[in-house]
Structure 1
């Protein structure tokens, strides 16, 4: 009595179409589960063993990546945010897809389809063809998407940069600037200024918001300190606010910070950083400048951003005496809203019947919402988002180091001990008084220690 299980796969009874059909299915399924297993079982040992070795190598790499993800994620992210690392990863996915296709072709050759039952032969061939083409298309698609990421990283982080910086006191401090420009103003003004301070051991982040209207501040040692040794007063622009520093240095084209361009920065940013370091008492390792107009394109690329709007927001500015000014007629209504790019920009910018401090809070809400929703949006709109990021972000963070920062950002997500401190009323008085920056340093030190500022206590 003969059974299919009594016939070895390597020496089949080619005279039995029924057995050859079952054998073909066994080889096909085995090769789908372990690329190379089909040829190995069918008798092509050299080819099959090579396939198994590659498959085992792939499994080892995946296990190592999984271990690094949970144990030492920054080590994993470092090569994945460099050109060479991403190029290698793209070739790995494409090459593995092609190799899976080759093993399936060899499996079908070993299956001897001519000996398979005539009625089943077409179905086996169609399934094998699909199993051959899908890995190639998937590998090619993944490689293409990785190429988009690599191009974006090359464009954003591929130019001159500040180089790898050592954390200061166990922290990496990044200055965030929201650059705004318009027909009614001269040059670019960073209307949104903050510092994100990451604890490199825990990932806990302390965000320090700085009102653009801060006055009576100084500069750490450097060209701006030499120009304004007694503080930023009597400046060469209309008002001596914190966000005026960038404008003054840029518009007047001062001969200072000559090496800024060689480090991926510019004089206006370096001058602002000197002021922010003086105000906060922190060493700033890197900066990120966000173009607010391009920011709207990013939100559109994401398919919108969901915000729980707490109060009616006018899509317009206050009357500043400009000829032809009219009150706004469009509003963002309260409630859970999915804002498009234009509405999100007004949500962050609006000054009509509101304060700068309320605007700072809205900008923080928008920033947090985008960071939280961006990973999910990447799954559907990765190409559009990557292209938008290229137009939105300017930074001196080098390749590789952005992987370390990304790891810290992931660690910080959802933590209950993250702290937000705005050097603004009511905790820090700046209206009609000279700000007490010594007290500001105390607030910042407490915030870095994880202590939420008491809104009932002020510096005055």
Structure 2
């Protein structure tokens, strides 16, 4: 009888111990989960309440700041870019995130201690310890990853957007010179073979792309510039003095530009485009076409409606592959070949394909995709892009890009039969540019579809027949020429490229 009672009491003690151990283990697990969900709550309940209150306030502040930034991003992405485009602020944010990660790790270790692991059975103690490591690694990794993204953004801003001079829009438009450079091993120096001026209305975002052939000759320069002093009658020295050779010529004669000019090649190309178009150039962006492949891969490819088969050839011209006609999702390698291939086509065909790639990239870049692949995009951008757009102007450029994404993009190619590249009619080029800009404004105001009629020449001219600027000043680089109405060379890229 006594033995039975002892067995019964022993069983009751065993059950009570197991229940106590279960409560102990559940308490330890609960403290860890509380630290994951609401950092500081475990200390407030079972530990140092002052530490818990501080941690809760810090966590609430971090969540509030994150929510505020997300709200600003939804309401005005431009304002969010303006806030985050300050490298100094990003540095502070990076350090704060590292501090938050270390603090959160400390809270997990304290929560593990508060759970009393030494009082648990070996199996439960091991489970509690593994759970602590797993949850703390998860939480800290999230914060440190965010800190890494901030560091990437800061480095990208410093490496790419290194400009310091803010330039106001010219006659209500931002004119950005886009240069596609090709520095293959078999070529001497860098030659920007893709030369496009993007003229964007600062209010509507309507964009007109003016594309110039690389073999344009007799390029004029504005008076008072270094290039005009060297070539007062235009860049004319035979077949070697082409538009795409200006960059290399200026680089080889950098002493003429003095120490104030960081990149004589870019300065000369800006002067050339000013001389050709009569428009001020606000900023430039130089893209290495070989690195362009990485950028397309970083955004997950680009969809192009290929008009006809584009061959991919080897060094000897042998056919390696073909980009088939029809809608295609191109990766970086094939998008690069589509944009630069000269086989079985002309430079002018290539210019048209490059415009289609630019339009497709603009329309298909989505904020979510950019955020998911931000690190890859930033790394690619650092390697292939140089620009004089200051980081402080990123909010303005972001606003323009979002407007341009919603607006129609028109384009003009200055190719035969509109002009002859060996003896270009620069007054005609200027009249065509101004007519295209005027038509773009008319379309924006009326919200109508693209017109099929020819653009009318609306630019004022002085007595010599040279186009005058909007304020009536004659452009110094203009040369007298016959007064002709430009024929219609304005294309709607949505119709020309039909990029999906």
| 1:285-364 → structure 2 map (5 Å cutoff) | 285-299=282-296, 305-316=302-313, 328=319, 330-364=321-355
Aligned-partner SS, 1:129: helix
Cross-structure match for 1:196: 198
Distance 1:450 1:282 in 2: 21
Cross-structure match for 1:224: 227
Distance 2:150 2:278 in 1: 40
The alpha-carbon distance between structure 1 residues 61 and 383, as it changes in their structure 2 partners (threshold 3 A), is: closer
C-alpha deviations, 1:55-94, integer Å up to 9, x for none? 1211221132123213443343235334323322222322
Shift of 1:185: 5.1
Aligned-partner SS, 2:179: strand
TM-score of the superposed pair, with normalisation by structure 2: 0.73
The alpha-carbon distance between structure 1 residues 333 and 226, as it changes in their structure 2 partners (threshold 3 A), is: same
Distance 1:253 1:91 in 2: 41
Distance 1:16 1:114 in 2: 14
The alpha-carbon distance between structure 1 residues 425 and 113, as it changes in their structure 2 partners (threshold 3 A), is: same
Maintained 8 Å contact 1:236/1:248 = no
The alpha-carbon distance between structure 1 residues 330 and 59, as it changes in their structure 2 partners (threshold 3 A), is: closer
The alpha-carbon distance between structure 1 residues 313 and 41, as it changes in their structure 2 partners (threshold 3 A), is: same
Shift of 1:329: 5.5
- Aligned pair partner of 1:443 in 428, 436, 441: 436
Cross-structure match for 2:12: none
TM-score of the superposed pair, with normalisation by structure 1: 0.79
C-alpha deviations, 1:369-412, integer Å up to 9, x for none? 44535867766765555443333112222233335424532453
Q: Mark the runs of 5 or more structure 2 residues left unpaired by the alignment.
A: 1-18, 456-485, 488-500
C-alpha deviations, 1:83-111, integer Å up to 9, x for none? 32332222232222222222222223333
Shift of 1:299: 4.1
The alpha-carbon distance between structure 1 residues 453 and 304, as it changes in their structure 2 partners (threshold 3 A), is: closer
RMSD: 3.6
Distance 1:188 1:206 in 2: 26
Distance 2:127 2:340 in 1: 61
| 1:152-163 → structure 2 map (5 Å cutoff) | 152-158=156-162, 161-163=163-165
| 1:87-126 → structure 2 map (5 Å cutoff) | 87-114=91-118, 122-126=126-130
Shift of 1:49: 0.7
- Aligned pair partner of 2:268 in 267, 271, 274: 271
Distance 2:38 2:206 in 1: 42
Aligned-partner SS, 2:174: strand
Maintained 8 Å contact 2:301/2:332 = yes
Shift of 1:200: 4.3
Aligned residues: 429
Cross-structure match for 1:85: 89
Bigger-Rg structure (1/2): 2
C-alpha deviations, 1:151-184, integer Å up to 9, x for none? 33333334xx342333334443321111123466
Cross-structure match for 2:401: 409
Q: Mark the runs of 5 or more structure 1 residues left unpaired by the alignment.
A: 1-14, 318-323
